[in-house]
Amino acid sequence: MKHYRYAHRGLHDASLGIPENSMAAFRRAVEHGFGSELDVHLLSDGTLAVFHDSDLARMTGRGGELEALDAAALAACALGGTKETIPQLREVLSLYEGTHLPLLVELKSHKGNHRELAARTVEELDRFRVPYLIESFDPRCLLWLRRSRPEIARGQLAQDFLRGEEFASGMGRRADRILTSMALNRATKPDFVAFRYEHRDTASLRLVKRLHTADIFYWTVRSREEMESAEAEGAQVIFEGFVP
């Protein structure tokens, strides 16, 4: 797997009026020669939207769930008080096509839609000539990929969900233990593990490294010093807050 640096939610910078997961952020990443990490949700009409949260409030100031919207509604969702709106995945793919730069596509499953989300995302990705990898916190997305599209590089996103209340998954203590241990990797067989950088001392990640069962990505790397340390380990970085 060739090493790249991935701009987290695009190369965004609020001080420049460039919000996360916006077309402006992805254009800036391309201009600087970086791949981008982005988040994909499935909307009510089958549209794939690039946005981090299911709750619209933080980035748009309006209430409601993203998944309840359709394509037409995205144009009314201004990002961070700018003129940028929530893009569709196909718009980002069109931008990246022909650049040879990769995308790291995170599947954001919602209320049991993991199969449909994964299938629709792969269908859209197949329409463009863009190198990509797919990752998710939801092992069910990876299991679908392993069974249906095993040739696609897939990654398990993880952190220490037991480290504190702010890191809990919201699905209960048992789920947090399973997700932290990455026990379901036996079934999903990820090509890479993308782990929270601050939690890199977690026992389950140390085991993956020792057994060399998957490549390592770190998120979110926030300084040149962290980036150099991560890359010295042989990890790939998903960075934010600075331009390498």
Report residue 2's pLDDT band, with 50, 70 and 90 as the boundaries: confident
Q: What are 100-146's pLDDT values in tens digits?
A: 999 999 999 999 999 999 999 999 999 999 999 999 999 999 999 99
pLDDT over threshold 80, residue 222 = yes
Stretch 78-92: mean pLDDT: 98
Stretch 201-224: mean pLDDT: 97
Cα dihedral sign, 26-5-199-223:
negative
Stretch 186-191: mean pLDDT: 98
**5-239 is classed CATH 3.20.20.190:** yes
Tokens (6 digits) for 14: 């609020």
Q: Rounded to whole angstroms, how far apart are CA atoms 175 and 79?
A: 32
Give the type of residue at 112: G
SS3 192: strand
Please, which residues have CB within 8 angstroms of residue 160's CB and are 6 or more apart in sequence? 167, 180, 196, 199, 202
Residue among 191, 198, 193 at smallest CA distance from 221: 198
